[in-house]
């Protein structure tokens, strides 16, 4: 039985993986793995229209266009590194990681991403980091210095400057507001 990799839009967390696995099981589609942005399935008489409808019903969708697959790989890789990794990966070079994942030169990926998403990869990374900062502030477990270190900022001042530029308020002001304005990761 031949295997194929399905690329799936809007998968941003472990619960998304579970939801996609459940959908595949409901439709009796045999799979070997499901991870952020993709599922490896046995391509044996799959009704792709039915699968896509069922995925759309829970907020996902199949991606068929190669450029859109690259965009989704970029997004899920960045989300995974920033929101679901041990933090050690943040010390690595994003351009190399993305080139390795997509098997495309970074300049190609960067231009495609900017064209399709109307935002640079670098800005997307910053926005994802800011969402992670907001999450960590809401937990009230870490100091601003610890948050800066965890997200690989060069200093707490760098984090503070970037946060204020994006959010329009300082880290302390945000913490005092007890704001709950976090966005879902697929909307960043």
Walk me through the domains of the chain, giving residue ranges and CATH numbers. Answer: 3-63 (3.30.70.100), 66-119 (no CATH), 124-187 (1.10.10.60)
Minimal CA–CA distance to 147: which of 131, 127, 124, 123? 131
- Number of residues that this document lists for the chain: 188
- pTM listed for this prediction: 0.81
| Span 14-67, pLDDT tens digits | 899 999 999 999 999 999 999 989 999 998 789 999 999 999 999 999 998 999
DSSP 58-105: TT-EEE-SHHHHHHHHHHHHHHHHHHHS-SGGGGS-HHHHHHHHHTS-
Dist. CA 61–CA 49, nearest whole Å: 10
Dist. CA 130–CA 83, nearest whole Å: 11
């Amino acid at each position: 039985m031949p295997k194929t990799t399905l690329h799936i839009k809007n998968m941003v967390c472990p619960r998304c993986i579970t939801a996609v696995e459940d959908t595949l099981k409901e439709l009796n589609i045999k799979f070997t793995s499901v991870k952020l942005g993709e599922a490896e399935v046995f391509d044996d008489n799959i009704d792709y229209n039915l699968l896509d409808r069922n995925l759309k019903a829970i907020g996902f969708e199949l991606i068929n266009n190669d450029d859109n697959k690259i965009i989704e790989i970029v997004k899920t890789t960045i989300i995974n590194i920033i929101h679901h990794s041990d933090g050690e990966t943040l010390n690595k070079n994003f351009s190399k990681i993305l080139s390795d994942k997509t098997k495309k030169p970074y300049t190609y990926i960067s231009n495609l991403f900017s064209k399709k998403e109307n935002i640079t990869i670098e800005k997307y990374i910053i926005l994802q980091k800011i969402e992670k900062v907001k999450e960590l502030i809401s937990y009230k477990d870490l100091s601003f210095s610890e948050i800066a270190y965890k997200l690989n900022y060069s200093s707490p001042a760098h984090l503070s400057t970037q946060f204020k530029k994006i959010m329009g308020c300082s880290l302390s002001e945000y913490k005092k507001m007890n704001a709950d304005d976090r966005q879902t990761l697929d909307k960043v």
